[in-house]
């Protein structure tokens, strides 16, 4: 070690360092010697104090050493040898007994990553004991911390220094890219003031080199981990898409065989008696439901407000492999944005003001079953991104939790809006759209199947008649069949409920409360409008009619329309209806 020090720092510096070692050894010997023998020991020549002068730090050599280490950054294959080289250089050039490179654990404890002595050997066992007080202070304050004469300072302030009998200590934080990654720690038990201003500056410089190396290594690990996760996700997605393609191919072959199998209405495998009607447009939708129900494919249900989208969703669930599990439905447009994430994904106790207990979200409640997301087009963009992540990864994190939870849920979504136009306008995520629209089923509005209205009227009066029998006059039935029904079956149901209360057994035209001037629009007039414009116009007419009937009481109008008050207010705002 002395020879290495002499070659690196020069003979004078080496002699000064060795002289300090000699003086410390002599002091320990004299301190433990009985007074009677002390005088004779002092006469020994090798106990005389050395008088060599220390040499100035060889700045040029230090700079060259630093340049060599910086060059080594680009050519390194492994991080540990480079860090050892840096610590060896610091120990050698400062002439101290030992040097360590410390890094914090996830729990915040500083542990040695590299520990070296002046002989360029590794430290082990008791040799690794150090002043964690000074090292932790350097890391917390992000600046070098030095003890010039630690033995002379307060034992209370530097208990670990006194316990280890240290004289000089230097701790320099490893800073890179705005982060504190660790600490370079140097100490000496023999010399007071072992670290001058030049030493501290040079150690700080070399600590910066080590910090860059550590930051680069950490980033490489993160990149490799991200690449590995991306490969796994890609493999998982490819496997999922392959299964979905097989299921879609099977569905297409089945539908093609059904279409070629003969004329007329095809026999369905499952019972759909809860869905009333026999029109060709309804039959086409039910045939597709019949094929897609047993699969696990996501389904997007398209239809105007009140067409019975949830009824179709429940039918799909009931005839699926998940029928024994639970079905949950939620209207995405009826929940304020601030509550939607918690509703879907749940939250932990204390996640936000009012979260006095942990609560499961709909995804967890529906685990193994089916979740129906109605009015998916009303979901805010930020929430769309979170939903997409759950659909891609099959796991979620409740609000306020750092723990991911696996979920297995079949998603059925529905909307009355034109999602294709929303994707083009940037108000709906394209990737989420294609995730949800694996199978698309269009549910016809009531005005497109007027022949189903008499049977619907009969079933609805039976459902809400409370045991009473009702007859519908010919004039009332003609009015019901000719009405455009912008609110579809839901509006028809509400009209019949009110009429059954007003009548004494026979429902007349006057009991219906329908605007006599409002008739189904001619096909030519409707054809001049886009689907979005047609739906908006019909919705606006329905809302105005409900507001008029309830004297602009929004709560009662919402109840009449079968939507929440919050949902009605959103529709009024979107359609710019003056109230």
Asked whether the predicted pLDDT for residue 18 surpasses 60, the reply is no
pLDDT-derived band at 318, boundaries 50, 70, 90: very high
**Residue range 175-230, pLDDT digits in tens:** 988 888 899 999 888 777 778 888 888 888 888 888 888 888 888 888 888 888 88
Which CATH number goes with the domain that contains 340? 3.40.50.300
State residue 46's pLDDT score. Answer: 42
Task: Say yes or no: 423 and 502 in one domain.
Answer: no
Task: Say yes or no: 470 and 511 in one domain.
Answer: yes
State residue 308's pLDDT score. Answer: 92
In a domain? residue 242: no
Last residue of a domain, one of 410, 442, 474: 442
Strand partners, 400: none
Task: Say yes or no: 99 and 34 in one domain.
Answer: yes
How many independent structural domains does the chain possess? 3
Reduced to 3 states, what is the DSSP secondary structure of residue 99? strand
Task: Say yes or no: 282 and 388 in one domain.
Answer: yes
State residue 194's pLDDT score. Answer: 79
Mean pLDDT of 502-528: 68
Last residue of a domain, one of 442, 462, 488: 442
Task: Say yes or no: 191 and 328 in one domain.
Answer: no
Which tokens is 577 given? Answer: 């209806």
CA nearest to 292, candidates 320, 324, 259, 260:
320
Task: Say yes or no: 33 and 129 in one domain.
Answer: yes
Asked whether the predicted pLDDT for residue 47 surpasses 90, the reply is no
State residue 40's pLDDT score. Answer: 46
Burial class of residue 76 (count of CB atoms within 10 Å of its CB; 0-12, 13-18, 19+): middle
In a domain? residue 252: no
Task: Say yes or no: 336 and 406 in one domain.
Answer: yes
Last residue of a domain, one of 442, 463, 480: 442
pLDDT-derived band at 300, boundaries 50, 70, 90: very high
As a whole-number percent, the residues of the chain with pLDDT over 70 amount to 77
Task: Say yes or no: 48 and 10 in one domain.
Answer: yes
State residue 53's pLDDT score. Answer: 35
State residue 105's pLDDT score. Answer: 87
Could you give the CA distance from residue 398 to residue 357 in angstroms, rounded to a whole number? 13
Task: Say yes or no: 58 and 89 in one domain.
Answer: yes
Range of the domain at 570: 448-575
State residue 310's pLDDT score. Answer: 94
State residue 366's pLDDT score. Answer: 95
Task: Say yes or no: 158 and 104 in one domain.
Answer: yes
Q: How crowded is residue 262: how many other Cβ atoms within 10 Å of its Cβ?
A: 8
Count of alpha carbons within 13 angstroms of residue 265, beta-carbon side: 12
Asked whether the predicted pLDDT for residue 534 surpasses 90, the reply is no
In a domain? residue 232: no
In a domain? residue 238: no
In a domain? residue 10: yes
In a domain? residue 258: no
Question: For residue 489, is it left (φ>0), alpha (ψ between -120 and 50) or beta?
Answer: alpha
State residue 365's pLDDT score. Answer: 95
Burial class of residue 195 (count of CB atoms within 10 Å of its CB; 0-12, 13-18, 19+): buried
Task: Say yes or no: 395 and 459 in one domain.
Answer: no
In a domain? residue 248: no
Which CATH number goes with the domain that contains 118? 3.30.450.40
In a domain? residue 418: yes
Task: Say yes or no: 314 and 292 in one domain.
Answer: yes
pLDDT-derived band at 151, boundaries 50, 70, 90: low
Which CATH number goes with the domain that contains 505? 1.10.8.60
């Amino acid at each position: 070690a002395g020879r290495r020090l002499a070659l690196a720092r020069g003979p004078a510096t080496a002699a000064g360092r060795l002289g300090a070692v000699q003086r410390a050894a002599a002091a320990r010997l004299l301190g433990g010697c009985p007074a009677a023998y002390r005088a004779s020991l002092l006469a020994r020549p090798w106990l005389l104090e050395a008088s060599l002068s220390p040499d100035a730090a060889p700045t040029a050599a230090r700079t060259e050493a630093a340049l060599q280490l910086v060059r080594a950054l680009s050519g390194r294959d492994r991080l540990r040898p480079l860090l050892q080289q840096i610590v060896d250089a610091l120990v050698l050039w400062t002439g101290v007994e030992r040097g360590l490179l410390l890094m914090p654990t996830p729990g915040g404890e500083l542990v040695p990553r590299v520990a070296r002595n002046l002989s360029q050997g590794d430290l082990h066992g008791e040799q690794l004991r150090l002043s964690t007080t000074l090292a932790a202070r350097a890391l917390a304050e992000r600046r070098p911390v030095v003890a010039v004469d630690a033995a002379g300072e307060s034992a209370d302030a530097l208990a670990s220094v006194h316990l280890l009998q240290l004289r000089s200590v230097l701790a320099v934080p490893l800073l890179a890219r705005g982060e504190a990654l660790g600490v370079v720690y140097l100490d000496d038990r023999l010399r007071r003031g072992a670290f001058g201003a030049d030493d501290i500056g040079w150690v700080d410089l070399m600590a910066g080199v080590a910090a860059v190396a550590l930051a680069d290594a950490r980033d490489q690990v993160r990149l490799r981990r991200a690449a590995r996760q991306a490969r796994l996700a890609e493999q998982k997605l490819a496997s999922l898409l392959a299964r979905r393609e097989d299921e879609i191919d099977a569905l297409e072959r089945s539908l093609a065989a059904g279409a070629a199998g003969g004329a007329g209405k095809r026999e369905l495998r499952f019972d759909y008696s809860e869905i009333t009607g026999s029109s060709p447009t309804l039959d086409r939708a039910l045939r597709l439901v019949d094929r897609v129900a047993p699969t696990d494919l996501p389904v997007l249900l398209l239809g105007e407000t009140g067409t019975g989208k949830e009824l179709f969703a429940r039918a799909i669930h009931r005839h699926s492999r998940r029928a024994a599990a639970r079905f949950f439905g939620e209207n995405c447009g009826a929940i304020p944005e601030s509550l939607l994430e918690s509703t879907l994904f749940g939250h932990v106790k204390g996640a936000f003001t009012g979260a006095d207990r942990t609560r499961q979200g709909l995804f967890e409640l529906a685990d193994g079953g089916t979740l129906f997301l109605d009015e998916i087009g009303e979901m805010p963009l930020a929430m769309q991104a979170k939903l997409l992540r759950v659909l891609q990864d099959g796991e979620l994190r409740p609000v306020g939790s750092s723990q991911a939870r696996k979920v297995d849920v079949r998603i059925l979504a529905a909307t009355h809006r034109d999602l294709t136009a929303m994707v083009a306008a940037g108000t709906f995520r394209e990737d989420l759209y294609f995730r949800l629209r694996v199978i698309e089923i269009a549910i016809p509005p009531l005005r497109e199947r007027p022949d189903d209205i008499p049977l619907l009227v009969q079933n609805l009066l039976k459902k809400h008649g409370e045991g009473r029998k009702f007859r519908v006059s010919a004039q009332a039935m003609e009015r019901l069949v000719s009405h455009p029904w912008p609110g579809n079956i839901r509006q028809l149901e509400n009209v019949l409920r009110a009429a059954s209360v007003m009548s004494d057994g026979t429902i007349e035209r006057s009991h219906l409360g329908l605007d006599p001037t409002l008739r189904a629009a001619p096909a030519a007039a409707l054809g001049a409008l886009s689907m979005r414009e047609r739906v908006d116009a019909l919705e606006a007419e329905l809302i105005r009619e409900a507001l008029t009937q309830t004297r602009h009481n929004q709560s009662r109008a919402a109840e009449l329309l079968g939507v929440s008050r919050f949902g009605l207010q959103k529709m009024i705002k979107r359609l710019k209806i003056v109230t």
